[in-house]
Amino acid sequence: MLILTRKIGETVAIGDNIKVRVVDVKGHQVRLGITAPMEWAVHREEVFLRIQEQNLQSRATATSDLETAARLWANPDRKKT
């Protein structure tokens, strides 16, 4: 882990196209401004971990559930059997 000291208004560059700027410091909280390309998702860690968990759960969907959904989508009048 790289540890840096920055003051309000100072920036850290990550590669050529990601910048992290210290916007404000209040007590034990630091506000950061992040500039990154649109194709890069930027999330707080707890949100990122929740997204990963939801992705894992969606991959665990049973094949039979997907087949049933596909069959119902193809013919919405057909009842589940």
pTM tops 0.75: no
Record the tokens describing residue 21, joined without a space.
Answer: 């700027």
Among the ranges given (14-18, 43-47, 70-74), the one the predictor scored with the smallest mean pLDDT:
70-74
| In a shared domain, residues 49 and 79 | yes
Please report the pLDDT score of residue 61 as a whole number. Answer: 66
| In a shared domain, residues 59 and 80 | yes
Q: Using 50, 70 and 90 to split pLDDT, how confident is the model at 15?
A: very high
Please report the pLDDT score of residue 60 as a whole number. Answer: 73
Q: For 51-65, what is each residue's pLDDT tens digit?
A: 999 888 877 766 777
| In a shared domain, residues 47 and 28 | no
Range of the domain at 48: 43-81
Hey, CA dihedral for 65, 70, 73, 75, is it positive or negative? negative
| In a shared domain, residues 5 and 34 | yes
| In a shared domain, residues 49 and 31 | no
| In a shared domain, residues 51 and 66 | yes
Maximum separation of any 2 CA atoms in the chain, in Å? 64
| In a shared domain, residues 24 and 48 | no
